[in-house]
Amino acid sequence: MIGFIYKTTNKINGKSYIGMCSSEKRFDTYLGSGKLLKQAITKYGKENFEREVLTECDTDNELRRAEAKWINHYDAINNPNFYNLMEGGRGGHTGFHEDTDMSSVVKQHWSKYTEQEKKERLSNTTFGKYDKSSSNNPMYGRSAVAEQKLRWYTNGEKTIYVTEGTQPEGYRRGRK
């Protein structure tokens, strides 16, 4: 067995999540990694969730097909009794495909934005935000090696950093 498909259920509100697990280290304790599921676990606590194994799989390909099959079987991305947001079968590393990857709830929210707003929101992600070769890069023109020799000092109101061994008058080491 390479992994399994599971259904994690919230014992308080009855909502469930369909997912796949392929890490032997987590076979016993893994509840899932979906965004909404994680939020629910934080809110209700791990002790209020139970997991049942739906299918065991012998290959990665079989695992991915089985996840998509079970999500489709329960109509989990459109069913309000499920935490799933994606169609499954790709292990959460999906990229962004507006037409196929969004649940009806997410599509409804996303549809409120104009095309320009959607473009701006997608461009403000961590990846692609900084061009590593230009002044948009936060480290542009700075030397990480030289900055390692700088030390933080504070006077209680203002925090500065100066070259090691040159403590300014009225300041003490540290940030706060």
3-state secondary structure of 37: helix
**Do 23 and 81 belong together in one domain?**
yes
> At 56, is the pLDDT very low, low, confident or very high (cuts 50, 70, 90)?
very high
* Judgement on whether residues 136 and 84 belong to the same structural domain of the protein: no
Burial of 76 (0-12, 13-18, 19+ CB in 10 A): buried
Confirm whether 149 is domain-assigned: yes
Residue pLDDT, tens place only, 119-172: 776 665 544 454 556 666 666 677 664 666 677 778 878 877 777 777 788 888
Rounded to 5 degrees, φ, ψ at 38 are -60, -40
Amino acid 123: pLDDT: 62
Per the structure, the complete domain to which residue 60 belongs is given by 3-91
8 in the same domain as 81: yes
pLDDT of residue 94: 45
Q: Does residue 12 register a pLDDT over 90?
A: yes
In the chain, % of residues over pLDDT 70: 72
Tokens 């090691």 belong to: 164
b/e code 111-128 from CB counts within 10 Å (16+ = b)? eeeeeeeeeeeeeeeeee
Is the domain of 87 the same as that of 11? yes
Provide the number of structural domains found in the chain.
2
- 66: phi then psi, degrees, rounded to nearest 5: -65, -40
Segment 98-116, tens digit of pLDDT: 454 556 666 777 777 788 8
Q: Which of 143, 164, 144, 140 is nearest to 152 (CA)?
A: 164
Tokens of 108: 């409804």
pLDDT at residue 105, as a whole number: 67
pLDDT of 96? 47
Tell me the CATH number at 38.
Answer: 3.40.1440.10
**pLDDT for residue 144:** 60
Per-residue pLDDT band for 69 (boundaries 50, 70, 90) equals: very high
Same domain, 75 and 139: no
Tokens for 91? 């292990």
Q: Which pLDDT value is given to residue 46?
A: 93
pLDDT of residue 169: 85
Sign of the four-CA dihedral 23, 42, 90, 96: negative
The Cβ of residue 162 has, within 10 Å, a number of other Cβ atoms equal to: 13
29 has pLDDT over 70: yes
Structural tokens at position 153: 């000092």
Residues 65 and 145 in one domain: no
* pTM of structure: 0.53
Residue 173 is assigned to a structural domain of this protein? yes
Residues 80 and 30 in one domain: yes
